[in-house]
Structure 1
């Protein structure tokens, strides 16, 4: 069973294409929340893995689901719940912004794993398990973008 757009087509989606595919709006949180309520297909999980460079285990851990559960949902055609859907949509938006700020996803992923001054020298990656934490990491990206912190 094919998991992602890349596995189906042999061509990876870009972060921007993924954002468009899942109707991620960086400027309209209402639309993001509304879209999340209906639940996303598990394909969003695999598409995010393709564009983010996160491992199955890392993203499963962020969502507080086992990878086995993700695979079962996919097999059963079950959608993710609203909370997990919102997390995925916000993460897609975060990676979209990160690509703008850092220029490439690899640099962003390295930054996620280093202490960040604006996050009390904690690793940004540790904040990705909650919607509010994703917002904090995004705020830190905006400060970097505007030169407030490096």
Structure 2
């Protein structure tokens, strides 16, 4: 029997407790699509740095956005569509991790930094620069949520 794939995570509706709400982004729908097309504001990035516990440089590395580009976006005020997509994908993973740990952001941050056997011994934060790796992290979170040993 084939095991189910749990990569269709949908963040909960926006509330004050979600990462989405705290960084000022809608969690889905047309409003999110439009923001990604127009470019995520740099202020959203700084809020994400604060919430995730990563510094500006570390987050840029995780997202595969060069630090020089991040610095240029600080001046221009917005990220490109592609960069915005990477940011939104990170938010999706981070929100899923926070949800996995029932709202405990510190536990989620620690889990994201820890090597995971089911991810080939890599930490989830090391696997966010490509879509394939990001999907593996989302799958892992889904398996853990459903009690499937990783």
On whether the aligned pair clears a TM of 0.5, the verdict is yes
Aligned-pair CA distance for 1:128? 0.8
Aligned to 2:144: 144
Alignment partners' CA distance in 2, 1:40 and 1:62: 17
- Pairing 1:18–2:22 present: yes
Aligned to 1:5: none
Alignment partners' CA distance in 2, 1:37 and 1:131: 18
Aligned-pair CA distance for 1:68? 4.4
The normalised TM-score by structure 2 is 0.73
Alignment partners' CA distance in 1, 2:129 and 2:144: 22
Cα pair distance change 1:107/1:91, threshold 3 Å: same
| Secondary structure of 2:148 counterpart | coil
- RMSD of aligned residue pairs (Cα, Å): 2.7
List runs of 5+ in structure 1 lacking aligned partners.
1-12
Aligned-pair CA distance for 1:115? 2.4
The normalised TM-score by structure 1 is 0.73
Cα pair distance change 1:31/1:133, threshold 3 Å: farther
Asked if 2 retains the 8 angstrom alpha-carbon contact of 1:53 and 1:105, the reply is no
Aligned to 2:48: 48
Deviant stretches of 4+, over 6 Å: none
What number of residue pairs does the alignment pair up? 134
Alignment partners' CA distance in 2, 1:66 and 1:16: 23
Aligned to 2:71: 71
